[in-house]
Structure 1
Amino acid sequence: MANYTAADIKALREATGAGMMDVKKALEEAEGDSAKATEILRVKGQKGVTKREGRTTSNGLVAAKAEGGVGTLVEVLCETDFVAKGEKFGELAGTVLAAAVDSKAGDADTLLAATVDGQSIQAILDDANATIGEKIEVKRVARVEAPTVVAYLHKTSPDLPAQVGVIVGAEGGDEQVARDVAMHVAALAPSVLTRDEVDAATVENERRIAEDTAKEEGKPEQALPKIVEGRVNGYYKENVLLDQAFAKEPKKTVQKVLDEAGASVTGFARFRVGS
């Protein structure tokens, strides 16, 4: 007869983030002792860390902080949405974000080497990996510095944590303009700030595709240069932030809105979980 209750299972799951069957097995092995069961989960979890390295982490959350002219954005991934929306995973992400802010990390490697109470973030993730029983990793980190920096988080589902995160750095204007741009970035997912940041090989490939397509459509030879230029501009309007139609005022570009506000965007980052 089991010497633990449904309440014990629930409490241990909430405390560790581990799955139902793993918790039940640990409680059975520990004869109902929650402290001992927690140790069992951790030990067995550590044994499985290497096996989990090849697993796919397509769930998780994004977390951000903007303060004092600095914005930090992190993406923390796990395997299932059950873990992603758990309290323990949320607390772990909070620790990761705080470490990213304190260490001024701008990339994942720097963040993983940062320490909290003498323990590296990588070690903290390994412990969580062991206890929760899923592969957990920091996928991306971004840092933006500017006179004005805002952060925006968006939930794609009400029962999940934020899945889209944006930080935007700006000069001039007011904070509301920067916030509006951050919301625009979340919705329309530009890949770069300006045309100059688009890789030359990408532009050349877009020109080639545009020309081949126009020829396939039977367009006259003399019209090809104008058609190609128009389609390349269309690529810019889809992917370059300043060229995009502003989400709140589609008849204006983002550049136009910023000019009218006396502002400029100096940098941005956008993460969507798993993409």
Structure 2
Amino acid sequence: RAALAANAADVEALRASTFEGEPVEDILTDAIHVLGENIQLPRATTVNAGGIASYIHGGGKIGVLVTFDVEGIDPASEGFQAYGRDVAMQVAAASPVSANRESVPAEVVEHEMGIYKAQAAESGKPEAIQEKMATGRMEKFYKENCLTEQAFVKNPDQSINQYTDECAKNLGGTIKVTGFVRWALGETA
């Protein structure tokens, strides 16, 4: 509630805020003393979007928020909420790296491509073939690690992009997955 009230974009903003007149840092210290447990605030973020869907898995062990750009569809409608919950459930189950290939961090792409190029070089094939092998493996990485390209857990014959297009058509508008936040209990960053 403190993070929401302060519209905290990160942990520092949350720690610097107050809740019901008391500094969040003091509330945290009091909780540590009362519970006798080391309590940390590893992450905080704010999401704003035309549509937001949530999903909590495993009795609160994993929480997901997915953001969407929506046109011609009421994000509060039952149909959109069912679709959004399915996509959030996908994030909880498949733990993608990013929403789409454009949002994969450059250092991740560079690291993965370096591995694939090294593996291709070990094959002893000509350089042009090695490049194609590395590019092919990178495409596989995107299909497995980008939410919109992943096989939908409820229908593996369909990607999340295809499911999104199908739902948008049925709801009479357009939907674009723009991002997500996935939290797991006990993670440190």
Regarding TM over 0.5, the answer is yes
Work out whether 1:105 is the aligned partner of 2:8: yes
Tell me the equivalent position of 1:230. Answer: 136
Aligned partners of 1:225, 1:107: CA distance in 2, in Å?
40
Tell me the equivalent position of 1:114. Answer: 17
Deviation at 1:165, TM superposition (A): 0.7
Work out whether 1:264 is the aligned partner of 2:159: no
CA-atom RMSD in angstroms: 1.8
Deviation at 1:255, TM superposition (A): 1.2
How many corresponding residue pairs? 173
**Contact 1:148 1:175 (8 Å CA) reproduced:** no
Deviation at 1:204, TM superposition (A): 2.6
Tell me the equivalent position of 2:172. Answer: none
Letter of the structure 1 residue corresponding to residue 178 of structure 2 = T
Secondary structure (helix, strand or coil) at the match of 1:270 reads strand
Cα deviations by residue, 1:165-213 (Å, 9 ceiling, x for unpaired): 1011222551111110000000001121121222333323322211221
Aligned partners of 1:231, 1:148: CA distance in 2, in Å?
33
Deviation at 1:222, TM superposition (A): 4.3
Work out whether 1:211 is the aligned partner of 2:109: no
Q: In structure 1, list runs of 5 or more residues that go unmatched.
A: 1-97, 156-160
Tell me the equivalent position of 2:44. Answer: 141
Deviation at 1:145, TM superposition (A): 1.6
Work out whether 1:187 is the aligned partner of 2:99: no
Residue from 28, 40, 60 that aligns with 1:162: 60
Work out whether 1:253 is the aligned partner of 2:165: no
Aligned partners of 2:119, 2:104: CA distance in 1, in Å?
21
Secondary structure (helix, strand or coil) at the match of 1:140 reads coil
Higher relative contact order (CA 8 A, sep 6+): 2
Secondary structure (helix, strand or coil) at the match of 1:142 reads coil
Aligned partners of 1:241, 1:104: CA distance in 2, in Å?
26
Secondary structure (helix, strand or coil) at the match of 2:177 reads strand
CA radius of gyration, larger in: 1
When residues 148 and 223 of structure 1 are mapped into structure 2, their CA distance, relative to the original with a 3 A threshold, is: same
Cα deviations by residue, 1:53-72 (Å, 9 ceiling, x for unpaired): xxxxxxxxxxxxxxxxxxxx
Cα deviations by residue, 1:249-270 (Å, 9 ceiling, x for unpaired): 1122111111222221122100
Deviation at 1:218, TM superposition (A): 4.1
Letter of the structure 2 residue corresponding to residue 148 of structure 1 = G
Letter of the structure 1 residue corresponding to residue 57 of structure 2 = H
When residues 201 and 113 of structure 1 are mapped into structure 2, their CA distance, relative to the original with a 3 A threshold, is: closer
Aligned partners of 1:134, 1:229: CA distance in 2, in Å?
48
Aligned partners of 1:222, 1:147: CA distance in 2, in Å?
44
Aligned partners of 1:210, 1:185: CA distance in 2, in Å?
25
Q: How much identity, in percent, do the aligned residues show?
A: 38
Tell me the equivalent position of 1:43. Answer: none
Aligned partners of 1:272, 1:219: CA distance in 2, in Å?
43
Letter of the structure 2 residue corresponding to residue 169 of structure 1 = T
Aligned partners of 2:19, 2:102: CA distance in 1, in Å?
39
Tell me the equivalent position of 1:152. Answer: 55
TM-score relative to the length of structure 1: 0.58
